[in-house]
Structure 1
Amino acid sequence: MPLFWRMFLLNAVVLVLATGLLMGPWVTVSSPVLPREALVLCGGLVALLVANALLFRAGLAPLRRLTKAMAEANPSKPGQRARVTGHGELAELTETFNVMLERLEAERAASSGRALSAQEAERRRVARELHDEVGQTLTAVILQFKTLADRAPAPLREDVVTAQETVRDSLDEVRRIARRLRPGVLEDLGLLSALRALTTEFSTPGVTVSHRLDGSLPSLGAETELVLYRVAQEAMTNAARHAGASRIDLALRSVEPRIVELVVGDDGRGLRGTEEGAGIQGMRERALRLGAALTLTSDDAEGTTVRLRVPLPTEGAA
C-alpha cells in the first residue's frame, strides 16, 4: 500500500472511532461544559495524539533509517548499503538508493582508475626527465668539479671538493626521488623485491623496519602489484615522517584462497582524531580501483595499522 493511503487510512480509523463515540450515548457534552465532560474530552484528545504519534513513528521508521544511511554514505568507502525493510514505496525507495550507490561506486572506481593511470604516466615522465636530464647534468658537474679539484691550488682544493660532494648528494637525492616516482625495481624484479627495497629505503638509524613477505602468493597482475606498492609506500611515509614512529612492520600474505592482505603497522603517535589527508584519500582511491577494502585503526599507545585486503579475480575471469 502506498505511504499516502497507509497514513490516510490510519488517521481515518482514529477519527471514525472518535466520531462514533461522540455520536453514541457514551459521551455527551453540555453547554457550558461540565468538568467531568471536559476531562473526558481532554483524555480523548490525548489518546488521539498518542495514537497518531505511535502510528506515524512506526510508519516513518524506514524513512528515518534511509535518511541515516544517506547521511553516512561515502563513495570512497564502498559496500555501505541501507537495510531494506517492509514493503511498498519506502522499500522501493531504499532499493533505488542502494542501486544508486552501486552506480556511484562503479563510476567513481572507473574515474579514479583513469585519474590514477594518468598520474602514474606523469610520474614516469617526470622520473625519466629527472634521471635523463637533471641526473646527467649533475653527473657532468661532478666530473667538472673533479677536474677543477685536480687543477686547483691547495687553498681552493678543499672548497672545490666540498662543492663536489654537495652536488653528489644532490644527485643521490634526485635519483631517490626518481625511484619513488617510478619504482623500476617493481617493473623489473616484481612486488616482493620492490617491497624489500622499500623497507631498506625507510630503514634509518632512528627507524627500524621489518618485513614478512609471503613468497607463495598467486599471480597478482601489474595493476594490483602497483596498488599494493603505492599503499605500502604511502603508509610507511606517513609513519616515518608524520607519526614519528621508531618501528614499522610490513606484512604481505594470502589470507584466503583469493584474497591478499597487506598490513603496515607502526608505533607512532596515531591519528588522534585528525582528518584524513591527501595521502590517506589517495590510498582509498587506489583501493577503490581494485574493489579492495582499506581499514585504518589507530591507538595512541600502539600507533596506526593500515590494512588492505585485495580480492583477486577468479581463475578464468577477464
Structure 2
Amino acid sequence: MQPVNTSLYWKVCLINGAVLCTAVVVLLLSPARVSRQVVVSEALVLVAGLGLVLLVTAVLLRRALAPVDEVIREMATVQLGGEGRQLEAAGDGPGAQLVRSYSAMLERLETERRSSSARALAAQEAERDRVARELHDQVGQSLTVVLLGLKQLEDRAPADLCGELSLLRESARAGLDDVRRVARELRPGVLEDLGLQAALSALANDVAAYGGPAVRRTFGPGLPELGHDAEVVIYRVAQEALTNVVRHAGASRVELSLLRFGPDVVLEVGDDGGGIRPGTPDGTGIRGMRDRAALVGGTVEVVSGDRGTMVRLRVPA
C-alpha cells in the first residue's frame, strides 16, 4: 500500500494547528494564570508564549516551503528555449517532491525541444535539397534551352537585331548563373563530394565573387573526421555568419578558421565591421545557428565590439 500524499495546504494547516494546540496545553499546565487584571508577569508569559509559537511555526514552515520558494524563483528566471538550473532537494516532503517534479519537467521539455528542433532542421534540409534539385533540373534546363534558342536566333537574325539578342542572351546567362549559385547554396554538393574544407573554401570564394569582402581562410592541421551531421552544421553556421557579414557588417576584411582545440573542433568567422549594438536581441539567424549547434552537442558564441564581430562554433570532435 502506497502512502497517501497530503496536499501542501493541509500540511501547513496541520502544522499550525499542532503548534497552537501544544502552546495552549503548555500554558494551561504551567503555573502561570491569567487574572481579571493582567499583571506584568502574566503579560510577559503570554508574549513569550506567542513568540515561541511564531518561532517554531516559522522554523517548521521554512523547512516545508523553502523548496517551493526556490522553484518559484527559478521559474521566474528560466528563459524560453534555454535550459533551467537543476535544483536539488533532500527528503520526501512535498517541497522536495515539487523540486524533483520541476527538474523532471525541465528535462522532458529540453528533450522535446531538441527533438522538435532536430525534426524541423531535418525537414528544412530536405526542403532545401528538393528546391535545389528543381532549380537545377527544371529552371536551369529551361534557361539553357532559352540560351541555345537565342544563340540560334542571333545567328539568323538581321544585323540590327543582333545587339539586342546578344543582350538578352547575356541576361539569360546571368540568370542561369544565379540559379546555379542559389542551388549550390541550398544543396552544397561540394560538401558531399570533396569534404568540409573544400566546401568552406568554395563558400568563401562565393562571398568575394559576388561583391563581398575578401575572406581569409585558415584550416588547422590534424582536423578529425566528423560525421555528416556535424559537417552540415559547421557549413550552415559558416554560411549564415558570412551572409550576416555581407548584409549587415559593412566589413572590409573577414577571417574564417577551422581549428582543433582539445576535444573540440572550433569554427570562427570574424570581421572588422561595425559590430552589433549592445542590447540588441538575437535575430533569427543567430538563434538558428544555436539550434543547429545544439543538435550535435555544440555551442555558438557571438562576441561583438567596436572592432567587429566574432562568431565562434564549438563542436565535439
Provide the TM-score with structure 2 as the length reference.
0.78
Residue equivalent to 2:248: 242
Indicate yes or no: 2:273 matched with 1:270.
no
Change (3 A) 1:144 1:100: same
8 Å contact kept, 1:183–1:194: yes
Look up the match of 1:295. 300
Q: Distance in 1 between matches of 2:56 and 2:103?
A: 32
Q: Give the residue type in structure 2 aligned to 1:88.
A: D
- Distance of aligned partners of 1:15 and 1:166 in 2 relative to their CA distance in 1, 3 Å threshold: farther
TM-score (norm 1): 0.78
Aligned to 1:93: 98
Change (3 A) 1:11 1:246: farther
1:82 paired residue number: 86
Q: Deviations over 1:256-289 (max 9, x none)?
A: 23x2222233334316434434323322332232
2:235 is equivalent to residue 229 of structure 1: yes
What amino acid does structure 2 have at the position aligned with 1:94?
A: V
- Secondary structure of 1:291's match? coil
Alignment: residue pair count: 308
SS in 2 for 1:261: strand
Stretch of structure 1 that moved more, 226-235 or 143-152:
143-152
Find the counterpart in structure 1 of residue 312 from structure 2: 307
Contact 2:140 2:179 in 1 (8 A): yes
Which residue matches 2:150? 145
Q: Distance in 2 between matches of 1:309 and 1:15?
A: 62
| Alignment partner of 1:122 out of 113, 119, 127 | 127
State the identity as a percent: 47
Q: What SS is found at the alignment partner of 1:87?
A: coil
**Which one-letter code corresponds to 1:65 in the other structure?**
E
Contact 1:76 1:284 in 2 (8 A): no
Query: Are 2:180 and 1:175 aligned?
Result: yes
Cα distance change of structure 1 residues 206 and 198 upon mapping to structure 2, 3 Å threshold: closer
Q: Is the 1:7–1:56 Cα contact (8 Å) retained in structure 2?
A: no
Which of 35-44 and 303-312 deviates more? 35-44
Structure 1 pair 7/302, CA: closer, same or farther in 2 (3 Å)?
farther
CA distance 1:248–1:95, shift in 2 (3 Å): farther
Match of 1:186 among 183, 191, 196: 191
Q: Deviations over 1:43-87 (max 9, x none)?
A: 976786677557645643322222333344457445x43220443
2:267 touches 2:313 (CA, 8 Å); kept in 1?
A: yes
1:281 is aligned to 2:275:
no
- More RCO (CA 8 Å, sep 6+): 1
Q: CA deviation at 1:19?
A: 6.6
> By how many angstroms is 1:137 displaced?
1.4
Instruction: Specify whether residues 205 and 183 from structure 1 end up closer, same or farther in structure 2 by C-alpha distance, changes over 3 A only.
Output: closer
- Contact 1:196–1:211, Cα closer than 8 Å, also in 2: yes
Report the residue type matching 1:174 in the other structure.
Answer: V
- Aligned equivalent of 2:265: 260
Write the distance in 2 (CA, Å) between the matches of 1:208 and 1:43.
81
Q: Any conservation in 2 of the 1:11–1:52 contact (CA below 8 Å)? A: no
Partner deviation per Cα, 1:100-127 (whole Å, 9 max, x = no partner): 3333333333333333223222211211
Asked whether 1:207 is paired with 2:217, we answer no
> 1:14 offset after TM fit, Å?
6.7
Cα distance in 1 for partners of 2:280, 2:234 equals 24
Q: Residue 219 of structure 1: which of 220, 225, 236 is its match?
A: 225
List runs of 5+ in structure 2 lacking aligned partners: none
Letter of the 2:265 counterpart: V
Corresponding residue number in structure 1 for 2:118? 113
1:124 and 1:182 in contact (8 A); partners too:
yes
**C-alpha distance in 2, partners of 1:128/1:153?**
38
The CA distance in 2 between the partners of 1:25 and 1:118, in whole Å, is 81
